Chain A
Amino acid sequence: MNSRKKYFEVVDREVLINLMKLKTIDWYYFHKQYKLSPGQLSRSIKKLEAWKFLVIEEEQIRITEEGQKTIVSERNRIFRKNSDEDWGVEQRDRMRQKIEINQLYMPNIKKLKK
């Protein structure tokens, strides 16, 4: 399962992090703990079930093996703060070599408008 193109909302992250810890959780837990409405929880767990992270059972959800593996392998993308959008520019693409203190900045002359 590749979560590269998937967008995780706050509710999804709350569901996944708790599933990672508890494996099987009652639906009600998320309402009691995080004040999620039936609509918020339903939308999230249906989406995560379609992405094979979990299975919906009577009154509870259970993490799948595939889901556990994906959460571990793609934790950076799933849980990082201010996660990039797919259309965002990767930070490393913007990185340039750091110049030393007092070193003169030398622009790329070829790229300057004539």
Chain B
Amino acid sequence: MVNDIACSPNATVSEIFDDRMGKILRRASKQIEHDDFVKLMTLTLNQSWLEEESEALIELWNLCKFTSEQELVYNLLLRFKYLTSSEIKTSGREVANHILNVWNLSPKGTRIIAVSDKREADGSQMFIQSLKDKFTTNNWKENNFINNIGDGLKLTRKNYKIILLDDFIGTGDTIERRVKWARKQIRKKHKTNVSIRVVCLAALEIAKPKLDLLKIEYYSPIWLKRGISDHYKAKELKKAISDMKRLEDELAKRYNGQSMPSFGYKKSEALFAIEAFNTPNNVFPIFWWPVLANQQQRNTLLKRLR
């Protein structure tokens, strides 16, 4: 019976589908306007990670008071770099290849150290764990990979080559602090001829001058520009900035004792997140800041725990 109905031009969907299944499917409670739906569909088709976030996407869309704000959100999301787990693998391979074949480092005397310096879990530890399986040849061992900078430096001997590793470098502040601290510790313990290098999964281009000043070798498979300042020019830039400021007015200025980092930490304007990782605070807060100005919780595209 079902087969016949399925091929009949007059068939209605309810005649064909299993009602039980139909009830399980969650459907939109409100209807979106045509043009908005087309825009949101285009975004979702281009950014697969948005497939799971339709509700948050619509909420963000409705947060925009003016068309120009929606245009800005649309534009930023189209250029957003969301690293999926399979891309983490690819980028991890590129990092491993750089360490092994460009820097030509051997397991003897090399330590790859996550920059984590607290008790709490962080992205650098997640990245270092995912990197290990790319080093299964040439006698690399687990003890070449250290999950925090304190222990990493304790295990460092003279003539060692240490590679400080982070998942994401935003402004470069954190990595700069870690490198300087590592140098200080090395000097204090009289460990001579220790070289420091830096690797990460992705970095903002604005961090380059800081990294250059440290006079170290560094590598990132992905370099990202700032979402607004490096993209728009002249009048468009001014308009984009004012639109983003207006949008941020919709968000609470403080939450959990922390200030909302306008345009991302130190205005770094990042359009970047890694699947299943904590979102960096460099990202525009409209994508992850969890509370509205009226103190209501909001459904966000990205999540960040602090």
Interface stretch among B6-14, B122-130, B291-299? B6-14
A103 interface hit (Cβ, 8 Å): no
A3 interface hit (Cβ, 8 Å): no
- Tell me the A1-53 residues at the B interface (CB within 8 Å): 10-11, 13-14, 17-18, 20-21, 27-28, 31-32, 34-43, 45-46
CB closest residue in chain A, given B19: A81
Q: A38 near B17 (CB under 8 angstroms)?
A: no
CB closest residue in chain B, given A14: B13
A108 interface hit (Cβ, 8 Å): no
Chain A at the B interface: mostly helix, strand, loop or mixed?
helix
Q: A38 near B43 (CB under 8 angstroms)?
A: yes
B235 interface hit (Cβ, 8 Å): no
A72 interface hit (Cβ, 8 Å): yes
A90 cross-chain contacts in B, Cβ below 8 A? none
A56 interface hit (Cβ, 8 Å): yes
- Chain B interface residue count, CB cutoff 8 Å, equals 36
CB closest residue in chain A, given B57: A38
Chain B at the A interface: mostly helix, strand, loop or mixed?
helix
- Tell me the A39-90 residues at the B interface (CB within 8 Å): 39-43, 45-46, 56, 59, 71-72, 75-76, 78-82
Interface stretch among B22-30, B131-139, B261-269? B22-30
- Tell me the B224-279 residues at the A interface (CB within 8 Å): none
A interface, CB within 8 angstroms of B? 10-11, 13-14, 17-18, 20-21, 27-28, 31-32, 34-43, 45-46, 56, 59, 71-72, 75-76, 78-82
Q: A37-B58, A75-B6, A82-B18 are in contact. List 12 more A-B contacts (CB 8 A).
A: A10-B24, A14-B17, A32-B31, A35-B29, A36-B28, A38-B40, A41-B41, A42-B41, A59-B38, A76-B2, A80-B2, A80-B3
5 A-B interface contacts by CB (under 8 A):
A14-B13, A17-B6, A40-B51, A80-B2, A81-B17
